[in-house]
Structure 1
Amino acid sequence: MAIRVFAPAKVNLTLHVTGQRADGYHLLDSLVVFADVGDVVTAADGKGLTLAVTGPEAGGVPAGESNSILQAARFLGVEDVAFTLEKHLPTAAGIGGGTADAAAALQAVALLRGLDVPADVLSLGADVPVCLRGKATRMSGIGEELTDVDGLPGIWAVLANPRVGVSTPEVFKRLQRKDNAPMPDHIPPFETVRDLAGWLADQRNDLEAAGIGAQPKVAEVLAALQRVKGQLLTRMSGSGATCFALFGDEQSADSAAQEISVQHPDWWVRNTRLGGKNL
């Protein structure tokens, strides 16, 4: 028997850095949604723990002991699973590729072996808990405080990555201020994507300036997204280098993705619908 689990790209529509604990962990307040593009993790019975990596983005994936999928399997205490990762998301891209793969591996192993996924999986990565949910969520604390977000409209977007990795520790190191204001206590419902984009414009990704400092190509991606017709908001996701633009309809997003792909054929560009399991 083989179990296949989709590992969608995670997009931080907002990312407010609100503090830093004594142990070094940063406190965040983020509105997280998931895309309909992502990786696929397959788990089957095997001899020992093995991982085969396929797909168009396989080249950047570490296949050794440090791989997040193998770490997730060991976390559950299994040693006899053969994994296949069909990789479609770029690595070190700010859209949760590695953590989404780890969450998918946890789910796949749980189904394959009849196990429960433990409630506390933070040790595998701050984004693993939210990736396990795979739906629109307000993520706070160090990633352990998760609240459903209802009332989001259908969101069409373009994701663009210039195929350069960005070090998350380096971005946080460059962050000038770590005690920023959180989002408002209440995230309202929105009738349209334009309404949502207007609200998001008053929010932030506090890592964006630091991300540009660590990798100037982030600014180039943002500028390219800002130039396309119909975009309602552009922002960096996570710690970069992937950025997104929001659109009111699928046709506008598709046209924008095609335009950027022609202008920058070496970039990873996808049009997608954002939301999650509640799409």
Structure 2
Amino acid sequence: MSAPKSKAIAVVAPAKVNLYLHVVGRRSDGYHLLDTLMVFAELGDGVTVETAGKLTLETDGPFAASLPNDHDDNLVMKAARALAEAAGIRPRAHIRLTKNLPVSAGLGSGSSDAAATLKALSRLWEIPDGAVDLPALALTLGADVPACLVAEPLFVGGIGEVLTPAPRLPAVDMLLVNPGVQLSTPAVFGARRGGFNPEARFTEPPRDVRELAELLKDRENDLAEAATRLSPVVREMLGAIESAPGCRLARMSGSGATCFGLFDDAETAGRAKDQLERYDWWCAVTRFGGG
């Protein structure tokens, strides 16, 4: 009789996009306090876990080569070990991480990968609901990981741990653009100049992409100027996206360098993608909201 097949669990790790990001203060320990609207796109990395005799990580996908060679230092492995320790079990699993998203790109892909790993391994290891405080554990892994664990439109405050559901957002087609340049989040925050901005949350749900874009026009990404000084191509990308026919709004996500444009439909976003690919930038059309 053949041995039973090990069960495999697959989870999508969606791209995180900051529709706006205001720096509202700074703690005594140096951490910046933020007010940001996070959404999560249909496009993302993939995390697949299955039973194994020990904890191992395999990587594939178009951006796998951008990952460090030392898999033990990968946030996915850190998440797996932290979950096992919190649950009081041995970390035994084979994890396959499919990197479809650029690395150090302002899309939170590492944080989203870690959150997806927590979800997948909780199921694989059959950890009872409530046995581990996953949001608290997520925060120990990184400021964006708690929000990525929720993976729904959120206003995020504090250093990333204060999560408030956003009003219902319409389904919006989006173009993501990355120049192939990695930007370090600490470096971008370190290069930031100027004071702080107030919170800019809204309560009325926008009915369509036009109304959403109008709301966001009064809100900025406070890290864009610093990112542009470190990588001037950010300004070039924003200009190219804004000039694409049908673009409702163009902004940078997170600490960059990925920028995005909001469009009325996927066809219009696709034409913009065709136009911008001549710059040899990574471009992808995806969607968020509508849930």
Match of 2:283 among 247, 265, 269: 269
Partner of residue 231, structure 2: 215
Partner of residue 149, structure 1: 166
Q: How far apart in 2 are the matches of 1:152 and 1:108? A: 27
Aligned length: 274
User: Structure 1 residue 100: deviation in Å?
Assistant: 0.4
Partner of residue 246, structure 2: 230
Q: How far apart in 1 are the matches of 2:219 and 2:29? A: 27
Structure whose CA Rg is larger: 2
1:270 counterpart letter in structure 2: A
Partner of residue 143, structure 2: 126
User: Structure 1 residue 99: deviation in Å?
Assistant: 0.4
1:267 counterpart letter in structure 2: W
For residues 146-185 of structure 1, what are the structure 2 equivalents within 5 Å? 146-184=163-201
User: Structure 1 residue 254: deviation in Å?
Assistant: 1.3
2:288 counterpart letter in structure 1: L
2:231 counterpart letter in structure 1: Q
1:101 counterpart letter in structure 2: D
User: Structure 1 residue 150: deviation in Å?
Assistant: 2.4
After superposition, give the CA deviation of every residue in 1:28-64 in whole Å (9 maximum; x if it has no partner): 0000101111100011112222111011111101242
User: Structure 1 residue 177: deviation in Å?
Assistant: 2.7
After superposition, give the CA deviation of every residue in 1:68-103 in whole Å (9 maximum; x if it has no partner): 100000111242111001110010000011000000
User: Structure 1 residue 181: deviation in Å?
Assistant: 1.4
2:109 counterpart letter in structure 1: G
Partner of residue 80, structure 1: 92
Name structure 1 gaps, 5 residues minimum: none
* TM-score normalised according to structure 1 size: 0.95
Whether 1:7 aligns to 2:13 is yes
Partner of residue 206, structure 2: 190
For residue 7 of structure 1, give the secondary structure of its aligned residue in structure 2. strand
Q: How far apart in 1 are the matches of 2:206 and 2:23? A: 24
User: Structure 1 residue 178: deviation in Å?
Assistant: 4.6
Moved more, 109-118 or 196-205: 109-118
Q: How far apart in 2 are the matches of 1:61 and 1:187? A: 39
After superposition, give the CA deviation of every residue in 1:142-180 in whole Å (9 maximum; x if it has no partner): 111111112311111100000110011110001113522
For residue 73 of structure 2, give the secondary structure of its aligned residue in structure 1. coil
Moved more, 6-15 or 57-66: 57-66
Q: How far apart in 2 are the matches of 1:175 and 1:47? A: 47
Name structure 2 gaps, 5 residues minimum: 1-6, 85-89
Q: How far apart in 1 are the matches of 2:109 and 2:225? A: 22
Whether 1:22 aligns to 2:28 is yes
Q: How far apart in 2 are the matches of 1:167 and 1:187? A: 32
2:78 counterpart letter in structure 1: Q
Q: How far apart in 2 are the matches of 1:32 and 1:269? A: 20
Partner of residue 33, structure 1: 39
Paired residues of 1:20 and 1:178 also in contact (CA < 8 A): no
After superposition, give the CA deviation of every residue in 1:224-251 in whole Å (9 maximum; x if it has no partner): 1112100010000000000000011121
Match of 1:47 among 42, 53, 66: 53
2:16 counterpart letter in structure 1: K
Q: How far apart in 2 are the matches of 1:102 and 1:216? A: 30
Q: How far apart in 1 are the matches of 2:173 and 2:55? A: 38
When the two chains are superposed, the root-mean-square deviation of aligned CA atoms in Å is 1.2
* TM-score normalised according to structure 2 size: 0.91
Q: How far apart in 2 are the matches of 1:44 and 1:57? A: 22
Moved more, 63-72 or 163-172: 63-72
Q: How far apart in 2 are the matches of 1:183 and 1:167? A: 25
